[in-house]
Amino acid sequence: MEKWFVKNKKADFENIIKIFNISELKAKLLINRDINTPRLIDSYLNGSLEKLHKPELLMDMDKAVDIIIDKKNKGQKIRIVGDYDVDGVMSTVILKKAFDFLNIDSDYQIPNRVDDGYGINKDIISKAKEDEVSCIITCDNGISAIEEVKYSREIGLDIIVTDHHELPKIENENGLMENFYVDANAIINPKRGDCKYPFDRLCGAGVCYKFVTRLYEKLGYDKEDTEEFIEYAAIATVCDVVDLVDENRIIVKEGLKLINDTNNMGLRELIEVSDLKDKDISVYHLGFIIGPSINASGRLDTAMNAIELFLTKDSDRAKIVAKDLKRLNDERKEMTEKGVERVIDHIEVTSIKDDTVIVVYEPDIHESIAGIIAGRIKDRYNKPTIVLTNAKDGIKGSGRSIEDYNIFEELNMRKEYLNRFGGHPMAAGLSLDKDKIDTFRESLNKNNLTAEDLAARKYIDLILPIDRVSFSLIEELKTLEPYGKGNPKPLFGATGLSLTNGRILGKNENVIKLTAMGEDNLPMEVMMFNGVEDFEAIIEDCYGRVELDKLYNGINNDIRLDILYYPSINEYMGRTTLQLILESYRIGR
């Protein structure tokens, strides 16, 4: 049974409304998102590039910039080592484009997901030495590469680490865990414990953007010269699912403006092959269309192709690479759908369906999509899920979790079963021997998770009767965009609605259009996408088939619903009307 909770965070709303001249509703929405200080509120409401924090506030920023300038002056070569996801690709693109503009001798290398795994390794470092590289700069990785960074210094290679991930921890002599810093020449990471930077939630490309703005500044260039990099940082910020507040919100808002009129040949081609040419590119398009196409290159081939797309100045080559990325992403989607079906079939015919933690081994799933599949299974059953599959060097897996289950801690308590693991409370990666899968699964299921813990949860911004929905309200909500992690689309609740009509729509008959009545007895259109069969089963079970038939025939009926919704505008054949997008529902109380 899904549980609904109304957020009720406290604040001095009267003062906030007065200072910032905003409505009570907007003030509540800001506080619900923990945007609760004058600086954060001002940044959210009035964010601009001028309000970005000074890059030199990042620890080791000037040290790293001075190293690069020294290498430039000496004509020495720099190698960029990125990562194979969107954030790593965009970080690499930012650095390479900046170095080319500044006439700094540089090239780049991305580890292969299957052959190399995540992050810089000793083979990459040895090859850099062999190629007479003077300095390596990492992006979106390196903060945990303790032995690799040490090796780089030992063989005489300078190394700068730019990253945004949590620092590794070690136990000190007092038995307390403390941050461990790799032995790099410079470490730029807003999550450093000794870093006084005001915002620690930048993605890797955000860190690289800050780096190149400081580099340009120290070499005497104007800020305007770095503005093109914002669109790449925006793509990474959305796709790496970091909080869209403070600097991240500014980067995405400004980046979307540039993306919709981009001068980047490769991005233009990717937008065109994705059938987005005449559309207003939004966070949704970045997160669910553009980003996955970039990611597919690193999952099923090499991320070097995705980087080439953004760097090439050859229009014919841009077309070819963009089409190839689109093809790879279509292939990835098909593989994912088949993998999800196979895993569900496995779960449903075994005792795994009764477990509180799902651990399923499917040997034929491509290791690069195990995490995507785990996320889909977790969403379906609302249980922590680990999907294991055959990999080049044994059994590998990815896990996705729920709010009440710290999957990283649970793996840490069972590390005797594992060869390697890493991650955070909501997601993790691991490897283990095949003969340990069953005992590992049994151990994970010796937990205290209850039915209440496994109940899906919805958090409502506030109860808002549907008669309060208006065009002016929707215009006000638009000022809160772009939505994403840390700044979710507002969710409102309404109770005791009577339904006067219902129609099934769509080629696949997977949409229901309802007409609801609120307290003022004025009709409001409510759209529910998917779940037609579930809706009919629930209504029939509670009210009977006769009442459901009355609904579909527009006849007075006894059906009452409580709903969670987001208000929207429907434009059809020149007519503009209000409508509610249904997020969830339950029988009215």
pLDDT tens digit string along 322-346? Answer: 999 999 999 999 999 999 999 999 9
Q: Dig out the tokens for 372 from the structure.
A: 């995507």
Q: What is the mean pLDDT of the chain?
A: 93
Q: What is the pLDDT of residue 148?
A: 95
Which of 58 and 450 is assigned the larger pLDDT? 58
pLDDT confidence of residue 429: 87
DSSP for 231-255, written as a single string: HHHHHHHHHTT---SHHHHHHHHHH
Instruction: Determine the longest span between alpha carbons in the chain, in angstroms.
Output: 84
Model confidence at 88, pLDDT cuts 50, 70, 90, reads very high
Nearest CA-CA partner of 120 in 132, 129, 112, 111: 111
pLDDT at 409: 87
pLDDT value at 473 more than 80: yes
Quote the distance between the C-alpha of residue 263 and its chain's center. Answer: 25
Whether the bond into 482 is cis, omega within 30 of 0: yes
Using CA atoms in the order 371, 374, 379, 384, what is the torsion angle rounded to 10 degrees? -110
CA–CA dist 255, 230 (Å, integer)? 5
25-34, 172-181, 548-557, 562-571: least confident range: 172-181
In the chain, % of residues over pLDDT 70: 99
In this model, does residue 395 exceed pLDDT 90?
A: yes
Q: Domain spanning 350-444: which CATH class is it, in words? A: alpha beta
Name the class of domain 55-221. Answer: alpha beta
pLDDT at 370 over 90: yes
Task: Summarize pLDDT for 556-578 with one digit per residue, the tens.
Answer: 999 999 999 999 999 887 788 99
- What three-state secondary structure class fits 385? strand
SS3 state at 567? strand
**CA 60, CA 542: separation in Å to the nearest integer?**
64
pLDDT in tens, 479-504: 999 999 999 999 999 999 999 999 99
Four-way CATH pick for 458-587: 3.40.228.10, 1.20.120.330, 2.40.50.460, 3.40.30.10: 2.40.50.460
pLDDT value at position 466? Answer: 95
Comparing C-alpha atoms, which of 367, 375, 422 is closest to residue 402?
375
Q: Which residues of 344-366 are buried (b: 16+ CB within 10 A; e: fewer)?
A: beebeeeebeebbbbbbbbeebb
Out of 26-30, 63-67, 263-267, 484-488, least confident range: 484-488
CB 83 within 8 A of CB 141: yes
Q: Which one, of 166, 165, 177, 176, lies nearest residue 206 by Cα?
A: 165
Q: What does residue 210 show for φ and ψ, rounded to 5 degrees?
A: -60, -40
Distance CA 357, CA 409 (A): 14
- Assigned token pair, 184: 């790099």
Cα separation, 163 vs 474, whole angstroms: 38
For 276-300, what is the mean pLDDT? 92
- Report d(CA 161, CA 182) in Å as an integer: 9
Continuous H helices in 47-190: 61-74, 86-101, 122-130, 146-154
pLDDT value at residue 488: 94
Phi-psi region of 37 (alpha: psi -120 to 50; beta: other; left: phi over 0): beta
Q: Tokens at residue 457, please?
A: 């949860």
